[in-house]
């Protein structure tokens, strides 16, 4: 099983998108992005139709791709063929590469070795407070008879860390009012408020029964490493990395 992430280096995109932008939706030239995706596919020795892309909308919509459904060309060449309005996907098809696009949000990739399920979820604050993580694993339990949370291995890719993720008073108020379970992940530093997205994610995973020792957090901050990573907070006209999981 391979999990990982791209950096912003190694591609053909120019300007703010320099150079390995893999997102088709953020204003970069489509040819450059497709070229970059082809570079990635070649490196992995995979076909374009093996890739699964989501049109991520900070929703809690989750798709199960069953290998018997025989779907093809999930978003490699255009947005219209990607999984629409979807922020998490899991599959029993070990030929697929599941991809989450990020530039500050947290990507979560997982593997359940006994039932042989791989999954990927896009975890920004909105998805997390609305329950994307619990809803994803609930759907796994519902669809896959022998899926067991105790076996799940999780990888959390690069994202904006708690020390960098400054939020406004309105955000703190929103959590207080509507999502009070998450208020403990706000902290104050020099009169400013910050949200610790990673901590919230790990807490959700532990609450569901995922074992802490099976959660691997890469602890790389996108906002602090802008020569390596795209960061939407650093510059909102920017590219996207791909975080991926596949069976080799
Ligand atoms: Zn940081």
Q: What is the Å distance from ligand 1's center to 103 Cα?
A: 13
- pLDDT at position 187, please? 97
From the CA of 161, how far away is ligand 1's center (Å)?
Answer: 4
Average of per-residue pLDDT values in the chain: 97
Confidence of residue 217 (pLDDT cuts 50, 70, 90): very high
Rounded distance from Cα 224 to ligand 1 centre (Å)? 5
What spacing in Å lies between the alpha carbon of 30 and ligand 1's midpoint? 30
C-alpha of residue 121 to centroid of ligand 1, in Å: 21
Query: What token pair was written down for 211?
Result: 């074992």
Kindly report each contact of residues 76-80 with a partner whose C-beta sits within 8 Å and lies 24 or more positions away, as own/partner: 76/34, 76/37, 76/41, 76/48, 76/49, 76/51, 77/34, 77/48, 78/24, 79/24, 79/25, 79/55
| CA 225 – ligand 1 centroid, Å | 8
The separation between CA 99 and the C-alpha centre of its own chain, rounded to angstroms, equals 7
Angle at 203 between CA 146 and CA 84, to 5 degrees: 65
CA distance 39 to 196: 34
* Interatomic CA distance for residues 128 and 58, integer angstroms: 9
Q: What angle do CA 54, 245, 116 make, to 5 degrees?
A: 105
Q: Is the pLDDT of residue 214 over 90?
A: yes
pLDDT over 90 at 70, yes or no = no
- CA terminus-to-terminus distance, the chain: 6
Q: Of 159, 173, 66, 71, which is closest to residue 121 (Cα–Cα)?
A: 159
In 3D, which of 83, 24, 28 has the Cα closest to residue 57? 83
Percent of the chain whose pLDDT exceeds 90: 98
User: 223 C-alpha vs ligand 1 centroid, how far in Å?
Assistant: 6
Q: How far is the CA of 165 from the centre of ligand 1 (A)?
A: 7
Q: Which residues surround ligand 1, an ion (CB under 5 A)?
A: 161, 163-164, 221, 223-224
pLDDT of 39-52, one tens digit each?
999 999 999 999 99
What is the Å distance from ligand 1's center to 239 Cα? Answer: 18
Q: Check: CB of residue 186 under 8 Å from CB of residue 174.
A: no
Domain 2-160+210-246: state its class: alpha beta
The reply to whether the predicted model has a pTM over 0.95 is yes
In the reported structure, the alpha carbon of residue 244 is separated from the centroid of ligand 1 by a whole-number distance in angstroms of 22
Distance 9 CA to ligand 1 centre (A): 20
The average pLDDT across 119-131 equals 98
């Amino acid at each position: 099983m391979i999990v990982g992430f791209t950096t912003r280096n190694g591609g053909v995109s120019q300007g703010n998108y320099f150079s390995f932008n893999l997102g088709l939706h953020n204003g970069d030239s489509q040819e450059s992005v497709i070229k970059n995706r082809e570079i990635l596919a070649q490196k992995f020795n995979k076909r374009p139709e093996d890739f699964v892309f989501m049109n991520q909308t900070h929703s809690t919509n989750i798709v199960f791709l069953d290998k018997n459904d025989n779907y093809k060309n999930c978003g490699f060449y255009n947005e219209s063929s990607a999984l629409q309005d979807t922020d998490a996907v899991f599959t029993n098809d070990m030929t697929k590469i599941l991809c989450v696009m990020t530039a500050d949000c947290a990507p979560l990739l997982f593997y359940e070795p006994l039932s042989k399920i791989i999954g990927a979820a896009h975890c920004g604050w909105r998805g997390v407070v609305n329950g994307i993580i619990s809803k994803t694993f609930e759907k796994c339990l519902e669809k896959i008879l022998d899926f067991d949370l105790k076996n799940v291995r999780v990888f959390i890719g690069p994202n904006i860390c708690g020390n960098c993720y400054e939020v406004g008073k309105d955000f703190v108020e929103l959590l207080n009012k509507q999502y009070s379970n998450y208020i403990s992940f706000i902290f104050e530093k020099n009169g400013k408020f910050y949200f610790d997205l990673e901590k919230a994610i790990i807490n959700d995973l532990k609450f569901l029964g995922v074992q802490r020792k099976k959660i691997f957090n890469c602890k790389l901050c996108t906002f602090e490493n802008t020569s390596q990573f795209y960061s939407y907070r650093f510059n909102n006209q920017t590219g996207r990395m791909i975080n991926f999981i596949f069976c080799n």
